[in-house]
Structure 1
Amino acid sequence: MAVHKLILDDIFDEVDCTLIAIHCTIEDYRLAYLLNKNLSTNLARRRSNLDFSFNNATYSIFEWEDSKQLINWSLVSNICKTEILKKHNFNSLFSAEEKVIQTTYLVPEYKAVNYFLKIDNEFSLSKENNILKKILEVQQVATAYSIDINQLKSKDNLIFS
């Protein structure tokens, strides 16, 4: 009996999406509103946050499905701050607990990035530059730039569906 072996490594290596890093200090809902205004999108808050149970982190996410062009847009926070209780074991009669803020990142390679805009369609360079130009027109955005998603080590964290 012949053995048939399928090799699918090359199929899953390339991801067809555009990823834009956004540096700004405003709240997520405000950024979504300003992007909707400048990009003519309709980003809306997802009912549940993006939840990673392995590190107890949740990230806010806004989504929009463009039914005309069949493109999904996602705005997701890169930073999750959680408050944990840390116990100190001293050789004393009383145990001490301290509240510590733990910061976790969706994409740890880009710790300075506040938000990612993921568009599930690879645009031409001119269309991508046009989107970047419109994002940079938002006064509260410090900077924005494209990231090659295939170069990321943690690109699996950007699978939202």
Structure 2
Amino acid sequence: MAVHKLVLDDAFDDAVFTLMAIHCRLEDYRLAYLLNKHLGTKLARRKSDIDVNSGKTAYSIFEWEDEKQMIIWSLVSNICRTEELQKSNYGLLFNNQEKITKIYYLLPEYKTVNYFLKIDSEFSFTKEKYILDSILSIPQIATTYSIDSNQLKSKDNLIFN
């Protein structure tokens, strides 16, 4: 009896997407509005946020599915701030609880980035440069640049579906 062995390439494991880092001080809804205005997208807030640490953190996400070109655009926050209570024992007279703000990052290797724009498609260099230039034309944005997705350590955090 013959043995049939099927070998699948690693191509199925690697999702093809373009990732751009955005540095700005804008609120997420304001940035989504400005990107819609300058890029011609229709980013809208998703009903549920992204949860990476099983209920500990929530990252806001705005998505748009371009049905003509079959591309999904996602604008996601990199920073999540949570308040936790911590007991402080300075003396026996009072048991005070202090609120401590903890900061979590979607991609910890990019702690200075405020938002990521993930486009589920690989663009040519000229199209990617056009998108970057359009984003940089927004006065409230400090800088933006492309990120090589193959160099990411926490690439699994970018799986939104």
Normalising by structure 1, we get a TM-score of 0.91
How far did residue 42 of structure 1 move? 0.2
State the secondary structure of the residue aligned to 2:10.
helix
Greater alpha carbon shift after TM alignment, 101-110 vs 8-17 = 8-17
**Whole-angstrom distance in 2 between the partners of 1:132 and 1:31:** 14
Q: Which residue of 1 aligns with 2:74?
A: 74
State the secondary structure of the residue aligned to 1:51.
coil
**Whole-angstrom distance in 2 between the partners of 1:134 and 1:17:** 19
Give the number of equivalent residue pairs: 161
- Equivalent positions of 1:26-37 (< 5 A) are 26-37=26-37
Normalising by structure 2, we get a TM-score of 0.91
**Whole-angstrom distance in 1 between the partners of 2:93 and 2:43:** 54
How far did residue 32 of structure 1 move? 0.2
Note the residue ranges of structure 1 that are not aligned, 5 or more in a row: none
Greater alpha carbon shift after TM alignment, 128-137 vs 7-16 = 7-16
**Whole-angstrom distance in 1 between the partners of 2:126 and 2:65:** 22
**Whole-angstrom distance in 1 between the partners of 2:72 and 2:64:** 6
Structure 2 CA distance for partners of 1:5 and 1:85, relative to 1, 3 Å:
farther
**Whole-angstrom distance in 1 between the partners of 2:61 and 2:98:** 30
CA contact (8 A) 1:15 1:150 kept: no
Determine whether 1:64 maps to 2:50: no
State the secondary structure of the residue aligned to 2:104.
strand
Note the residue ranges of structure 2 that are not aligned, 5 or more in a row: none
Percent identity of paired positions between Structure 1 and Structure 2: 65
**Whole-angstrom distance in 1 between the partners of 2:77 and 2:104:** 11
**Whole-angstrom distance in 2 between the partners of 1:55 and 1:146:** 30
Structure 2 CA distance for partners of 1:2 and 1:86, relative to 1, 3 Å:
farther
Compute the RMSD of aligned alpha carbons. Answer: 2.0
Q: Please list the CA deviations of residues 108-143 of structure 1 after superposition, one character each: whole Å capped at 9, or x if unmatched.
A: 000000000000000001100000000000110000
Determine whether 1:41 maps to 2:29: no
Structure 2 CA distance for partners of 1:4 and 1:156, relative to 1, 3 Å:
farther
How far did residue 97 of structure 1 move? 1.3
**Whole-angstrom distance in 1 between the partners of 2:54 and 2:2:** 42
State the secondary structure of the residue aligned to 2:58.
strand
Greater alpha carbon shift after TM alignment, 83-92 vs 131-140 = 83-92
How far did residue 54 of structure 1 move? 3.4
Q: Please list the CA deviations of residues 26-77 of structure 1 after superposition, one character each: whole Å capped at 9, or x if unmatched.
A: 1000000000000000000001111124370000000000000000000000
Q: Which residue of 1 aligns with 2:128?
A: 128
State the secondary structure of the residue aligned to 2:153.
coil
